[in-house]
A and B are shown apart, each in its own frame.
Chain A
Amino acid sequence: AQKVTQAQTEISVVEKEDVTLDCVYETRDTTYYLFWYKQPPSGELVFLIRRNSFDEQNEISGRYSWNFQKSTSSFNFTITASQVVDSAVYFCALRNNDMRFGAGTRLTVKP
């Protein structure tokens, strides 16, 4: 069975701190995709990144970076120098035949 675990329910940091959101997944398939989505207080879901199971290269996009490690079945997300606008719920998701989301991590960045 597929499963995504985001163990951190809520995280609170002060602006400019770095923060890492953890994501651990379970699947028996060798081909799959991993995603991160952001849900700001306005409620919409915003796509952040997609990674396939054959590409373990880490990715950096501005203040965002992702660390994909198949050996530990993890796909962690780091925000460097956090800002108030980063406050949102962040979801990790796993896709092969269907799509499974984690329960989400609510990040609050305080000024």
Chain B
Amino acid sequence: TAGITQAPTSQILAAGRSMTLRCTQDMRHNAMYWYRQDLGLGLRLIHYSNTAGTTGKGEVPDGYSVSRANTDDFPLTLASAVPSQTSVYFCASSSTSGGAYNEQFFGPGTRLTVL
């Protein structure tokens, strides 16, 4: 079982350009999440989706957008990248069975550098 895949593994992007980070899960989890990880700050939630067709803003949503057209995919788009968006991006998913906040499973991450 692949679990969660992210693409690309890494990317260097010119400031002002747009980019979509891809995330796919095969565990049929309802909920999906995007985080960024920066040194000294831990992981911060960007956007989340509790089920296909719905999305919500996390702690640091500005400059990012997401969509959730189906259960498996949760792409993250940077419309006009800025250097402060240089980070490692993690996608995660979790089951919502039982109404509880279950553990999140994480993808391998995408390292993005904006110059």
Contacts and interface: CB of A to CB of B under 8 A. Distances in A.
- Chains A and B bind each other: yes
Interface of A: 4, 6, 9, 33, 35, 37, 43-45, 47, 50, 52, 91, 93, 95-96, 98-104
A33 B101 CA distance: 7
Interface of B: 33, 35, 40-45, 48, 58-59, 88, 90, 92, 100-106, 108-109
A104 B103 contact: no
A98 B100 contact: no
A98 B45 contact: yes
Given A47-B104, A98-B48, 17 more contacts: A35-B104, A43-B88, A44-B108, A45-B43, A45-B106, A50-B102, A50-B103, A52-B100, A91-B42, A98-B58, A98-B59, A99-B45, A99-B48, A99-B104, A101-B42, A101-B44, A103-B42
Most buried by B among A35, A43, A50, A99: A99
B42 A47 contact: no
Contacts of B100: 33, 52
B108 A43 contact: yes
A95 B44 CA distance: 12
Contacts of B104: 35, 47, 99
Given A99-B104, A103-B42, A45 B33 contact: no
Given A33-B101, A47-B103, A104 B42 contact: yes
A101 B35 CA distance: 10
Contacts of A45: 43, 90, 92, 106
